[in-house]
Amino acid sequence: MKKVIYSLLICLTLTSLWSCKDKDSYDDSKVTYFVEMSLNGDEAINIAKGSTFNDPGAVAMEGTSDISSKIVVTSNVNVKVVGMYTITYKATNVDGYSSTVSRSVTVYDPSAPSVDISGTYTVASGTYRLRDGAITKYSGQTVTITKVLPGIYKISDYLGGYYDQRAAYGPEYALVGYFQLDTDNSVINLSSKVKAWGDSLTKLKNAKYDPSTGAISFDAVYASMDFFVTLTK
């Protein structure tokens, strides 16, 4: 009788161990393929104002499957207005994970003033920062302006080197931007960004180029502060 009981106990133990082993070794995982996206054509496109823009689009791959038909496109491109625009392409895989890729589109005016104001400028005396009523004067820093398209320029620092050079934080703290020089010599901000902080201009006010002196002046409103900057060659 004891032998029978012992045999039953051994069988039950082995059965239990075998069952646990089967349960623990069960694998219900699966492979998730994240979407890999690529642009058709160039990452940056320049187009003349008023012309037709044909978006080259993008490609989305989920593993070996082409899911480009599922791409959702977000665009603010307006070919009637000079400016810098962004097109974003987004695709989502079967598990709900999304990937995006972007393209920049710059609309320029071929009839923009032929004058080229590119060059290295010096921050002139009388430049100052206004913060909570307190004025901080600065001058002597350098700012580079480069023509990239007819009437469109890149500026190395809208703040006139305040953080980059005066405070010696370095170039990642410069407020790099692009602007349009209009036919009346007004300066219109198109885009701007401080790489280190990730923010941009709130507004560019009273911005103009003086062809008689070659000076550029403006009020750059940034982070609740005003930077009254005059640049001279």
22-50 tens-digit pLDDT = 545 555 567 889 999 999 999 999 999 99
Query: Phi and psi dihedrals of 52, rounded to 5?
Result: -90, 135
Kindly tell me if the per-residue pLDDT of 1 is higher than 50.
Answer: no
User: Residue 132 CB: number of other CB atoms within 10 A?
Assistant: 6
Q: CA 71, CA 33: separation in Å to the nearest integer?
A: 16
169-214 tens-digit pLDDT = 999 999 999 999 999 999 999 999 999 999 999 999 999 999 999 9
Please give the average per-residue pLDDT across 133-152, as a whole number: 97
**Strand pairing report for 44-48 and 98-108:** parallel
56-113 tens-digit pLDDT = 999 999 999 999 999 999 999 999 999 999 999 999 999 999 999 999 999 999 989 8
Residue holding tokens 């051994």?
10
User: Residue 24 CB: number of other CB atoms within 10 A?
Assistant: 8
Higher pLDDT pick, 22 / 53 = 53
Helix segments in the chain, DSSP class H: 2-24
Please give the average per-residue pLDDT across 157-178, as a whole number: 98
Domains of the chain, each with CATH number or no CATH: 35-108 (2.60.40.10), 119-232 (2.40.128)
Which residue spans within the chain are E strands per DSSP?
Answer: 35-39, 44-48, 58-62, 65-66, 72-75, 83-92, 98-108, 119-123, 128-131, 134-137, 142-149, 152-155, 175-181, 187-194, 203-210, 215-222, 225-232
